[in-house]
Amino acid sequence: MNPLRTILLVEDEAIIAMAEAISISRFGYSVLSANTGESAVAAALGDQKIDLILMDIDLGSGIDGTETARRILAERRVPIVFLTSHSEREMVEKVKGITRYGYMIKNAGDFVLRSTIEMAFELFDAHETTIAREAELEAIYENAPVIMMLLDTDRRVRKTNEYSRRYTGAAAAVTGLRPGNVLNCINSFSSSEGCGYGVDCADCIIRKTLEDTLETGSSHEDVSVSWSLVSNSEPKEFQFLLSAKMLRIAETPMLMATLTDITERKKAVEELQRSERRAHLLNSVAKAFLTVSDEAVYEEVLKIVLQAVGSKCGLFGYFSDNGNFVVPGFSGCDWAGRGDADKDLVFSSASLDGESWAKAILERRTVIGDGPFITSKGRIPCGKYIAVPVVFEDAAIGLLVAVNQASGYQDDDIKILEFVALFASPILKARLQRDKNERRVVRVNRSLRMLSEANQTLIHATEESSFLKRLCDIIVETGGYVMATVGFAERDERRSVRIASFSGNDSGYLAKLDLSWGNNERGRGPAGTAIRTGTAWVARNIPTDPFFAPWREEAIKRGYQSTISLPLKHEEEVFGFLGVYSVEEDAFDSEEMDILSELANDLAFGIMTIRT
């Protein structure tokens, strides 16, 4: 980052402008501020040291951000990043046709702000470098000498200029030779008779153009040709613009042929086109993240990327809170052996170790593989695939895969996918965090409703078994858990636990528990530990929890991923437990545990009230 770079912040709300200016200064940039479109135009056109503009779209009275940008860009080139408080499509549509280097939602955080600024500078610098290179090559094309050859009516060279020796490599005699022999055309070496007699000479564009001028007198200008010449003993592909014109020199008809070498120019044009395609691609991806809601965004982003690399199918997914790899976006793929095509693909974290393509996630690097693309959810017949991880702060948060390009994948394809993954990283992270917060709010509200219904049930309870059943039903139906159960500690020699009631997806699971609250193998799980110690006990990840080993296989069969057991107490004596099961890994955070603990206390109170 250049510490001398200056950013013009255009924001009409003083508090927001002050906060953003502080953040930008902390990034190492110099900050100028403008609170109206008119003052921003004056600042940008009056100070050529401004390197980037952060432009609020809605500037209140006066001209808005889009008109401000148009006036500035009409006079000078400068990267502009638009800021908005809205993600509606209309806001994106407003800046169509304006050269811009990104969109950003206000208050997205310092990391997103800094990444957006750095990405804008990188894109603008690359664009400026390419433009400069193009201008330089244009100057060379207009002013530098070109290959010039005078040919007789038999297409034999009578004279060449000095510049031609750059291609012949020597000042050899050329009079009487054909152009291909003079310039060492690779086809001229395929026949002892030289130029015009090789196996590919009949289709030579240069020969056909020169012959047409000789036969008809028609001039040709800037005919684009590819010509393989032997230069310094090595074959090399050149791109030329060929022009041909009939002249009369000393009453003798002669043909003037000129060849302008545009090899480097064409490479620069192609690089410029690639840069422009990438900028357009990133704008399309940013627009999708801003305007497409929920998990449909993964499908939309994937379609954009697949079109950019010419792939027939692919997938785009993210890591959920429990470590599973979820794929809501998959397009055009013939999933042989896959189940319900309408559901998201979900790969457990444990299953990723067996997938060759998952090395991209586990090792955080791009993986190119040969087909078929095999997963635990089915297989895609294909030739090649590219898997690129989306990495945020050294952790893989997503994966982008392109499958089955007909011609095989090139370096440009890899760069495109890696470019999109880098660009999408902070956006995807922000989206996942937002979704996580929303799910947490929903879960807490659901739990509070569950507690309220349980309290209402407690008030009207008169019979123990129906009370227990109703409480378990509330936990499952209102709380959204997969199963709930109540058990009582027996005072027998084995210290066994008797299941008194349950609700939800049991499928014979409880009958196989054989629980104990003693300090033995079947008493060290959540239920036995809660009764024995009088404290809540959580198995956050059933597939890996060592204390859950006796019941793990049956639990996994039914989709249980985590469980909590809470003690039921009366005057400090524990007489039972409340068990709650979830299909989500690590489903019980501190707030959830507090609510369930209160519910367990209410349950214990209700039981003892009914009994007395």
DSSP state of 372: P
Tell me how far apart the alpha carbons of residues 453 and 463 are, in angstroms, rounded to a whole number: 17
CB under 8 Å to 439, separation ≥6 — which residues? 321
Of 177, 183, 181, 191, residue with least CA distance to 236 = 183
Three-state DSSP at 127 gives: helix
Asked if 154 and 177 touch (Cβ cutoff 8 Å), the reply is no
Q: What is the pLDDT of residue 550?
A: 93
Tell me how far apart the alpha carbons of residues 225 and 239 are, in angstroms, rounded to a whole number: 6
Does some domain include residue 280?
no
Tell me how far apart the alpha carbons of residues 436 and 441 are, in angstroms, rounded to a whole number: 9
Q: What is the pLDDT of residue 322?
A: 65
Q: What is the pLDDT of residue 177?
A: 87
Which two tokens mark 478?
Answer: 């209102």
Q: What is the pLDDT of residue 332?
A: 56
Does some domain include residue 445?
no
Longest Cα separation, the chain: 131
DSSP state of 521: G
Which two tokens mark 475?
Answer: 């936990």
Residue 248 sits in a domain whose CATH number is 3.30.450.20
Q: What is the average pLDDT score of the chain?
A: 83
| Structure-derived torsion over alpha carbons of residues 54, 60, 64, 69, reported in degrees to the nearest 10 | -20
Residue at 7: amino acid letter: I
Q: What are phi and psi of 524, to 5 degrees?
A: -100, 5
Tell me how far apart the alpha carbons of residues 218 and 224 are, in angstroms, rounded to a whole number: 17
Q: What are phi and psi of 226, to 5 degrees?
A: -105, 135
Residue at 410: amino acid letter: Q
Does some domain include residue 398?
yes
User: Does 408 lie in the same domain as 328?
Assistant: yes
User: Does 121 lie in the same domain as 42?
Assistant: yes
Residue 51 has pLDDT above 70, yes or no: yes
Please compute the mean of the pLDDT values over residues 297-320 and round it to a whole number: 82
User: Does 208 lie in the same domain as 138?
Assistant: no
Residue 170 has pLDDT above 70, yes or no: no
Q: How many CA atoms lie within 13 A of 33 on its CB side?
A: 15
User: Does 606 lie in the same domain as 466?
Assistant: yes
Residue 476 has pLDDT above 70, yes or no: yes
Q: Taking the CA atoms of 13, 16, 21 and 27 in sequence, report the sign of the dihedral they define.
A: negative
Return the bridge partners of 10, or none. 34, 55
Q: At what angle do helices 110-143 and 14-26 cross, to 10 degrees?
A: 70
Does some domain include residue 275?
no
Tell me how far apart the alpha carbons of residues 585 and 543 are, in angstroms, rounded to a whole number: 9
Q: What is the pLDDT of residue 144?
A: 44
> Locate tokens 């024995």: which residue?
532
Position 425 confidence tier, pLDDT thresholds 50, 70, 90 = confident
Domain stops at, among 116, 144, 172: 144
Within 10 A of 15 (CB to CB), how many other CB atoms are there?
A: 8
User: Does 133 lie in the same domain as 38?
Assistant: yes
Specify the pairing of strand 373-375 against strand 378-380.
antiparallel
Q: What is the pLDDT of residue 580?
A: 95
Of 366, 137, 425, 406, residue with least CA distance to 271 = 137
Q: Taking the CA atoms of 98, 99, 103 and 109 in sequence, report the sign of the dihedral they define.
A: negative
Classify residue 46 as exposed, middle or buried by CB count within 10 Å of its CB (0-12, 13-18, 19+): exposed
Asked if 157 and 150 touch (Cβ cutoff 8 Å), the reply is yes
Specify the pairing of strand 30-34 against strand 6-10.
parallel
Please compute the mean of the pLDDT values over residues 38-50 and round it to a whole number: 89
Residue 411 has pLDDT above 90, yes or no: no
Of 429, 453, 433, residue with least CA distance to 441 = 433
Q: What are phi and psi of 610, to 5 degrees?
A: -65, -40
User: pLDDT tens digit string along 481-527?
Assistant: 999 999 999 999 889 999 999 999 888 999 899 999 999 989 999 99
Question: Length of the chain in residues, anyone?
Answer: 612
Of 269, 288, 345, 283, residue with least CA distance to 313 = 345
Does some domain include residue 282?
no
Higher pLDDT, 15 or 91: 15
Residue 137 has pLDDT above 60, yes or no: no
Position 472 confidence tier, pLDDT thresholds 50, 70, 90 = very high
Q: What is the pLDDT of residue 140?
A: 46
Please compute the mean of the pLDDT values over residues 9-28 and round it to a whole number: 89
Percent of the chain exceeding pLDDT 70 equals 88
Q: What is the pLDDT of residue 429?
A: 87
Residue numbers of the domain that contains 399? 293-432
Residue 568 has pLDDT above 70, yes or no: yes
Asked if 288 and 301 touch (Cβ cutoff 8 Å), the reply is yes
CB under 8 Å to 237, separation ≥6 — which residues? 226, 227, 228, 263
User: Does 354 lie in the same domain as 382?
Assistant: yes
User: Does 230 lie in the same domain as 324?
Assistant: no
Q: What is the pLDDT of residue 369?
A: 76
Task: Determine which of 85-99, 281-295, 505-519 has the lowest per-residue pLDDT on average.
Answer: 85-99
What stretches of 516-562 show up as alpha helix (H) in DSSP? 526-533, 552-557
Tell me how far apart the alpha carbons of residues 98 and 110 are, in angstroms, rounded to a whole number: 26
Which two tokens mark 89?
Answer: 């499509």
> Locate tokens 């792939």: which residue?
311
CB under 8 Å to 363, separation ≥6 — which residues? none
User: Does 367 lie in the same domain as 261?
Assistant: no
Residue 347 has pLDDT above 80, yes or no: no
User: Does 522 lie in the same domain as 482?
Assistant: yes
Please tell me the total count of domains within the chain. Answer: 4
Residue 157 has pLDDT above 80, yes or no: yes
Buried b (16+ CB within 10 A) or exposed e, 126-148: bbeebeebeeebeeeeeeeeebb
Q: What is the pLDDT of residue 383?
A: 66
Please compute the mean of the pLDDT values over residues 388-404 and round it to a whole number: 85
User: pLDDT tens digit string along 355-382?
Assistant: 677 788 888 888 887 766 656 555 566 6
Q: What is the pLDDT of residue 245?
A: 93
Tell me how far apart the alpha carbons of residues 503 and 485 are, in angstroms, rounded to a whole number: 7
User: pLDDT tens digit string along 184-196?
Assistant: 888 887 777 778 7
Residue 442 has pLDDT above 70, yes or no: yes
User: Does 66 lie in the same domain as 137?
Assistant: yes
Residue 594 sits in a domain whose CATH number is 3.30.450.40
Of 86, 84, 54, 57, residue with least CA distance to 291 = 86
Does some domain include residue 439?
no
User: Does 174 lie in the same domain as 123?
Assistant: no
User: pLDDT tens digit string along 202-248?
Assistant: 888 998 999 999 999 999 999 999 888 887 778 888 899 999 999 89
Tell me how far apart the alpha carbons of residues 104 and 86 are, in angstroms, rounded to a whole number: 10
Does some domain include residue 532?
yes
CB under 8 Å to 451, separation ≥6 — which residues? 595, 598, 599, 602
Q: What is the pLDDT of residue 371?
A: 65
Does some domain include residue 179?
yes
Higher pLDDT, 44 or 343: 44
User: Does 263 lie in the same domain as 170?
Assistant: yes
What DSSP letter does each residue of 124-176 carry, written as one string? HHHHHHHHHHHHHHHHHHHHS--EEEEE-TTS-EEEE-GGGHHHHSS----TT
What stretches of 292-403 show up as alpha helix (H) in DSSP? 296-309, 359-362
Q: What is the pLDDT of residue 243?
A: 93
